[in-house]
Amino acid sequence: MRNLLPVLTVVAAIFVIWYAGAVGLNAAWAKDKAERAGVTLTFKELVADTWSQDKPKLPAPHQVGAEIWKTTGAMVAKGRAFSKRSLIYHSWVTFSSTALGFVLGTALGTLLAIGIVYNRTMDMSVMPWVIASQTIPILAIAPMIIVVLNAVGISGLLPKAMISMYLSFFPVVVGMVKGLRSPSRMQLDQMRTWYASPAQTFWRLRLPSSMPYLFTSLKIAMAASLVGAIVGELPTGAVAGLGARLLAGSYYGQTIQIWSALIMAAALAAVLVGLIGLLQRITLKRMGMA
């Protein structure tokens, strides 16, 4: 609760800047309209207009809030939570490929890390490729993945999840390589004195030691996964998902829709990363490592 005041202060500052920005950016259109109607606006009227336009350059927070409510809470109240006009439905679509991509990425990242730690050849050869893979702009490669997978008959959730995986395996590889190598020389020697097998050393020493590194990586991977899912939804023809809402919004200049999808994506990311943080706290506390 001690943190509440600073947090609220920052939130308040954001709102002030946001409202001021809305006035500044939307004023030109308001004045334009007024000129053509042959009236002059008082400052009060100007402000009221910039905060209530249909397609503002920057929608005011309450407009975005109203749009989000209209497409979430109000839909639930009407019992149509999963209709195609509902942001809950689109969030769910994005969440599905985020989650699948995150699981696949974590699995791939962990396997690569184990290979790198245990196999000298992989240690020398894989890491440069892993890093190179992340220097390719995802926007360039995402349509390729969709097209190639479509050509071999895979469509729907999996291609989008692959793009999420492509982004999310990277932090897991980097973190897990560091984590699996974190046991000290002494701890590894100790395992040798007991003549422990490599598998025993892995399960009893290396893997538990890597947990703090794993969770830090998972948080980054989850955020990257969400970005991947949204990017993956853009070239699929904008059928469903938060990415599709963003694209449709920009086609028709629906800035309020774009912003509400953006806010929804941010909220989704916050919840998912928060869940991992919670899991981290519980696990590390139980392991005596927090």
Partner 1 sequence: MTKDTIISAKNLSLTFQTNDGPVHALKDVDLDVHKGDFVSFIGPSGCGKTTFLRCMADLEHPTAGSITVNGMSAEDARRKRAYGYVFQAAGLYPWRTIGGNIRLPLEIMGYSKSDQDDRVNRVLELVDLAGFEKKFPWQLSGGMQQRASIARALAFDADILLMDEPFGALDEIVRDHLNEQLLHLWDTTHKTICFVTHSIPEAVYLSTKIVVMSPRPGRITDIIDSPLPRERPLDIRETPEFLEIAHRVRDGLRAGHGDDV
| Interaction site with partner 1 (CB under 8 A) | 184, 186-187, 189-197, 200, 204-205, 208, 286-289
In the complex, the smallest distance separating the C-beta of residue 211 from partner 1, rounded to whole angstroms, is 8
Q: How far is the CB of 190 from partner 1 (least distance, A)?
A: 6
Are 145 and 166 in contact by the 8 Å Cβ rule? The answer is: yes
Q: d(Cα 248, Cα 225) in Å, to the nearest integer? A: 22
Amino acid at 274: G
Q: How far is the CB of 195 from partner 1 (least distance, A)?
A: 5
Smallest gap, in angstroms, from Cβ of residue 114 to partner 1? 20
Q: Can you tell me the distance from the alpha carbon of 131 to that of 116, in angstroms, rounded to the nearest whole number? A: 14
- The smaller minimum CB distance to partner 1, of residues 6 and 189, is found at 189
* Chain center to CA of 10: 22
Nearer to partner 1, 58 or 191 (CB): 191
Give the number of residues written for the chain: 290
The amino acid that residue 287 corresponds to is M
* Nearer to partner 1 among residue 195 and residue 251 (C-beta): 195
Distances (CA, A) of 45 to 31, 42, 208: 10, 5, 63
Q: Which is nearer to partner 1, 44 or 185 (CB)?
A: 185
